[in-house]
Amino acid sequence: MNDAIVTRSLVKKYRGGRALDGFSLSVPRGATMGMVGSNGAGKTTWMMTVAGFVLPDSGEISILGLGPFDASVHGGRVSILPQDSELPLEAKPGELLVRYGRLQGLSPLAARREAESLIEAFNLTSHARKPVRALSHGMRKRVMVAQAFIGSPDVVLLDEPLSGLDPIEASRMRSFVLARRGKETIVISSHHLDDIEKMCTHVALMERGRLVSTSPLSALTSGSGRITITLRERPKDLAEIDSLFPGLRTTWNEGTGELVAEFPPMTQPEHVNAVILPALVRCGIVSVTSGRTLEQAYLGR
Amino acid sequence: MRLRLVWQSGLFELFDSLRSRRALVVLVIYLAASLLGMNGTISALGKIESQLAGVLAVETPADGRSGVISKTLWQSDHFKRMVRRSVGNSLVYDDICGKHPAELLYAWLAFMFVPLFTILVASNRIADDVRSGAVRYMLTRITRLEWTLGKFFGNALLLAAGILLGSVAAWCVAAFRLAGADIVMLFPGMLAWGLKAWAYSLAWLGLALGVSHIARSGTRATSIGVFALVAWSAASASLAHFGERFSVLARLFPSSVENMLWRSSFAPVACGTAWLLLLGLLYLSFGYSLFSRRDVR
């Protein structure tokens, strides 16, 4: 079986409506999947359902081919960074990680070693012996993410792992996740699409409790038929540029200083570049990107 | 169920409880209650026994310290008959009539305060973890049942520590305030009463954690726990009032087994302890049965 997580037709009703409304999604083994959707789309509910915290009203779940989450079967093989969940406030990060490692089935020595390695990886060495109560929000978040990786679980669910982190720590976290890519199946829920784009191999778009689309990230972003050119000045006549290549249509985004050139999908971007870039040199070319960013793909879907 | 994980989660619970200020405060209050309760009761005993001495025409104490008359009283036939009637159980009376009054005073205080102590220490432990979300870091690693039993086990250890410390504190007061040369010999006796009080606490612990499963916050759980304690005590007293007619129903309340713990021989104490543990697990299982089917969010 190639999918680490399979969910079919999941329905979860709350008083206010349906958080999951027939949601189906399969996450391939070893993939790093980003879940993207607006507030209330159902991302957190789906993660909580997969982790066994929330019981679905109907639908099927299979994790690692062993059925829905059951800690006696999946214990130690699935971990989660839950949203809005506080760590025990009086415990210290170092001992918490050892504790969770022990529950994952690690020996005391292995748990201690792995905890130390994670403490170092998340830049928590000088805070490892302070109680959680004394840590800042960002530090607590790093401990929370670290606990999700102890014991090398097969499936790691991260709900908003980068929220509340400063830019340096966010970058460190992204590097950490990138280094784990392929070792674990990782699912990341985030509103920061550039983070998803940097870390993930697959993307699932969801809205109102339903799956909109799922695909490898490259299929969504490197779609042919589009070039984004960042310029210092606005081109004077867009129609003149459009006339340079058959089927070319350009639009100018004043806010970002980007000229988006769309052309027939079968056309090689290099051919288009060869024709239009010389005409844009006088506008000051800053960068040329082939394909779309995840944000463009998400907003333009 | 994996006992190794229950054991580990129980130890984590014990350490977390010890670190939480609330448990420490309750522990300190219990110790203070043991000290003050013992001291106050001994003072009251001193006053009562000097009055009784006159009424029952027994010897007066030579040194004025409490306890001498009580021992004398204990040996007077008139007083024995009075106590036998008030205990209402001849087996219990036979077992306690040889004990030092200080032991019995401590036992009486311990059995009276342990239910409230237990409810205050334990009733928020599950509700707080569910509300803060800390439970979610555990439940991908161990089952809900293992986690619940770990909570029971960890809090039982905490209560054991608190109650036994309380018995040591009470013995210190007794050693200081009571007359007689057998104070050292009192220590194992009071420790044994401490252990029996701990056994008594197991049923209340099950009630506290059972309530904690269904409450949405620790504060609410504590309020419900205290209410349940009052309701249980009232129900138990009402059933006792009706005598044998409701004796089976009365067995579902911890106080119905208290008499067995007042005995000296092993068999009734062991049976009483087992029954209290079963009761505790029964109360716990009611809360757990709801918790096992509800969303943890």
Average pLDDT over residues A268-286: 87
Average pLDDT over residues B51-75: 63
A chain contacts of residue B139, beta-carbon cutoff 8 Å:
51-53, 71
**pLDDT > 90: what percent of chain A?**
58
- Identify which of B141, B294, B295 has the shortest CB distance to residue A75: B141
Same domain, A173 and A209: yes
Same domain, A23 and A103: yes
Same domain, A40 and A177: yes
Closest CA to A193 of A274, A76, A293, A286: A293
B chain contacts of residue A72, beta-carbon cutoff 8 Å:
1-2, 143
Q: How far is B6 from chain A (nearest CA, A)?
A: 10
Domain boundary pick from A199, A219, A239: A219
Question: Is pLDDT above 60 for B215?
Answer: yes
Domain boundary pick from A166, A185, A219: A219
pLDDT value of position B22: 72
Q: How many helices (H) and strands (E) does chain B have?
A: 14, 0
Question: Is pLDDT above 90 for B88?
Answer: no
Q: What is the mean pLDDT of chain A?
A: 90
Half-sphere exposure of A195 (CA within 13 A, CB side): 26
pLDDT value of position B94: 74
A chain contacts of residue B291, beta-carbon cutoff 8 Å:
none
Chain B contact probe: residue of A99, A159, A160 with most B CBs at under 10 A: A99
- Identify which of B12, B138, B295 has the shortest CB distance to residue A55: B295
CATH number of the domain to which A169 belongs: 3.40.50.300
B chain contacts of residue A54, beta-carbon cutoff 8 Å:
295-297
- Total domains in the fold of chain A: 2
Question: Is pLDDT above 60 for B98?
Answer: yes
pLDDT value of position A292: 74
At B238-284, the pLDDT tens digits run 887 777 777 788 889 998 888 888 888 889 999 999 999 999 999 99
With an 8 Å Cβ cutoff, are A53 and B295 in contact?
A: yes
- Identify which of B20, B137, B146 has the shortest CB distance to residue A100: B137
pLDDT value of position A114: 95
Determine the Cα–Cα distance for residues B10 and B26; give it in Å rounded to an integer. 19
More confidently predicted of B57 and B254 = B254
pLDDT value of position B54: 73
- C-beta separation of B9 from B141 below 8 A: no
With an 8 Å Cβ cutoff, are B2 and A72 in contact?
A: yes
**How does residue B66 score in pLDDT terms, banded at 50, 70 and 90?**
low
Closest CA to A271 of A224, A222, A219, A221: A224
- Identify which of A52, A55, A144 has the shortest CB distance to residue B139: A52
Average pLDDT over residues A53-61: 94
Chain A contact probe: residue of B1, B16, B137, B217 with most A CBs at under 10 A: B137
- C-beta separation of A202 from A215 below 8 A: yes
B chain contacts of residue A143, beta-carbon cutoff 8 Å:
none
Q: How far is A56 from chain B (nearest CA, A)?
A: 9
**How does residue A106 score in pLDDT terms, banded at 50, 70 and 90?**
very high
A chain contacts of residue B141, beta-carbon cutoff 8 Å:
71, 75-76, 79, 100, 103-104
Q: Would you give the DSSP letter of residue B14? A: H
pLDDT value of position A34: 94
Same domain, A195 and A228: no
With an 8 Å Cβ cutoff, are B140 and A91 in contact?
A: no
Average pLDDT over residues A27-56: 93
Same domain, A68 and A212: yes
Residues from B contacting A (CB-CB < 8 Å) are 1-2, 5, 8-9, 12, 15-16, 19-20, 129, 132-134, 136-144, 146, 293-297
- In chain B, whose CA is at the least distance from the CA of A133? B20
- Identify which of B8, B141, B293 has the shortest CB distance to residue A71: B141
pLDDT value of position A99: 94
pLDDT value of position A136: 93
pLDDT value of position B179: 66
Give the domain range for residue A227. 222-299
- In chain A, whose CA is at the least distance from the CA of B12? A99
Same domain, A7 and A79: yes
Using left for φ > 0, alpha for ψ between -120 and 50, and beta otherwise, residue A9 falls in left
Question: Is pLDDT above 70 for B59?
Answer: no
- Interior/surface letters B186-204, b for 16+ CB within 10 angstroms, e for the rest: bbebbeebbbbbbbbbbbb
Question: Is pLDDT above 80 for A242?
Answer: yes
Same domain, A215 and A226: no
Same domain, A188 and A285: no
Average pLDDT over residues B148-161: 94
With an 8 Å Cβ cutoff, are A85 and B134 in contact?
A: yes
Same domain, A115 and A156: yes
pLDDT value of position A266: 76
At A169-206, the pLDDT tens digits run 999 999 999 999 888 999 999 888 888 888 999 999 99
Q: How far is A145 from chain B (nearest CA, A)?
A: 11
pLDDT value of position B63: 57
**How does residue B73 score in pLDDT terms, banded at 50, 70 and 90?**
low
- C-beta separation of B147 from B5 below 8 A: no
Average pLDDT over residues A69-95: 92
More confidently predicted of A145 and B107 = A145
Average pLDDT over residues A122-136: 92
**pLDDT > 70: what percent of chain B?**
89
pLDDT value of position B58: 63
Helix (H, G, I), strand (E, B) or coil at A80: strand
> ipTM value of the model?
0.82
- In chain B, whose CA is at the least distance from the CA of A52? B140
Domain boundary pick from A179, A194, A219: A219
More confidently predicted of B27 and A127 = A127
Determine the Cα–Cα distance for residues B165 and B198; give it in Å rounded to an integer. 11
**How does residue A273 score in pLDDT terms, banded at 50, 70 and 90?**
confident
Q: How far is A158 from chain B (nearest CA, A)?
A: 12
Question: Is pLDDT above 70 for B61?
Answer: no
pLDDT value of position B70: 62
- C-beta separation of A242 from A259 below 8 A: no
Question: Is pLDDT above 90 for A117?
Answer: yes
- In chain A, whose CA is at the least distance from the CA of B128? A88
Average pLDDT over residues B46-69: 66
Same domain, A215 and A253: no
Same domain, A98 and A43: yes
List residues bridging with A78 in a β-sheet. Answer: A155
Same domain, A246 and A171: no
At B193-203, the pLDDT tens digits run 999 999 999 99
- Identify which of B9, B137, B297 has the shortest CB distance to residue A87: B137
Please report the DSSP string for B198-248 in residue order. Answer: HHHHHHHHHHHHHHHHH-SSHHHHHHHHHHHHHHHHHHHHHHHHTGGGGHH
B chain contacts of residue A145, beta-carbon cutoff 8 Å:
none
